[in-house]
Amino acid sequence: MPFTLRQLHHFVRVAERENISTAAKELFLSQPALSTSIAQLEETLDLQLLIRHHAKGVSLTPSGSAFLARARSLLAHAEEVSITGRALGESAQGPLEIGCFWTLSPFFLPGLLSLTHDQHPELDIQIVEGPLDELKKLLLNGGIEIALLYDLDLDSGFKKQPLAKVKPHLLLSASHPLANESVVSLRSLQNDPFILLDLPHSRDYFLGFFGKIGIQPYIKHRSQSFELVRGLVANGKGYSILNLQPASQKTYDGGEVRCIPIREKVAPLSVVLAYPKGLRQTQRAVAFTRCCKTFFRHPISG
């Protein structure tokens, strides 16, 4: 088995004191325990490091003298690594890998990253966008430290910091007969074609609204693109349900949509910061969490 830093530390102290008994007292060890530690180091290295002089202490062998310099260097380097590691965990500077659910990132990350940079300019944030299941895997395997997500099927293996709730709304084309209504029932649209934002977990959330009132939507188109859904609606291809509203009602191709509240009782979605339960957050993640709380204090469109 490989030697340990503790064994190296024991050897260096004995070599410096030239006496096992004196070194044992300084290390708060029994003399037999310290002797065993040195013997195990010598056995691992297949090298005699010390000459034991009965009642006169110890002295270094030629090989022991050469190894002493290497041992001191290795221990010093280990201390530097330890200091660096503690600094990474205790300061809000350096790299922080964050994840963000696809549809949330264009709404929140630009402003959130600007705020974070203003408050913590030495924090180097790296972004990973993706679907919920992929981000959950990255959180668990250490690919990212924290993620901005919808609270959809997050199991007990994750801790969640609630940030905001976003209400679902109907999305209609500007020319739809109901586009100027203040509120619209899902029942009044059951014969219209439905355009589904077809993302894992999200699809079940949206389709669940229809199941609760006992109707079946006529799904004309499915898309994983938030903007394609808006574009299809603007072009009169159907209606949709979304949770977030861009600042502009214009779509990429110049069409227009209208966001209308839903008459039926529909559950909002929670936007949360998630990280693995039992993981001690670095100060970088703690700083980012504080910035998120500040950012989400302001009302959001949803």
Q: What is the per-residue pLDDT for 91?
A: 56
Instruction: State which fold the 169-261 domain adopts.
Output: D-Maltodextrin-Binding Protein; domain 2 (3.40.190)
Sign (positive or negative) of CA dihedral 155, 161, 163, 164: positive
State the pLDDT confidence band at 104, using cuts at 50, 70 and 90.
Answer: very high
Q: What is the per-residue pLDDT for 221?
A: 98
Q: What phi-psi label fits residue 55: left (phi over 0), alpha (psi between -120 and 50 degrees) or beta?
A: left
User: What angle do helix axes 5-17 and 31-45 make, rounded to 10 degrees?
Assistant: 110
CATH of 5-90, one of 1.10.10.10, 1.10.3720.10, 1.10.287.3510, 3.90.550.10: 1.10.10.10
> For the chain, where do the domains classified as CATH 1.10.10.10 start and end?
5-90
Q: What is the per-residue pLDDT for 298?
A: 78
pLDDT in tens, 229-279: 999 999 999 999 999 999 999 999 999 999 999 999 999 999 999 999 888
State the pLDDT confidence band at 281, using cuts at 50, 70 and 90.
Answer: confident
Residues near 119 by beta carbon (within 8 Å), at least 6 away in sequence: 287, 291
Q: What is the per-residue pLDDT for 124?
A: 92
Task: Give the residue from 156, 157, 152 showing the smallest Cα distance to 131.
Answer: 152
**Residue 228 CB neighbours (<10 A):** 15
> For the chain, where do the domains classified as CATH 3.40.190.10 start and end?
94-166+269-295, 169-261
State the pLDDT confidence band at 293, using cuts at 50, 70 and 90.
Answer: very high
CATH of 94-166+269-295, one of 3.40.190.10, 3.40.720.10, 3.10.310.10, 3.40.50.1000: 3.40.190.10
Which whole number is the average pLDDT over 77-100? 76
Q: What is the per-residue pLDDT for 271?
A: 97
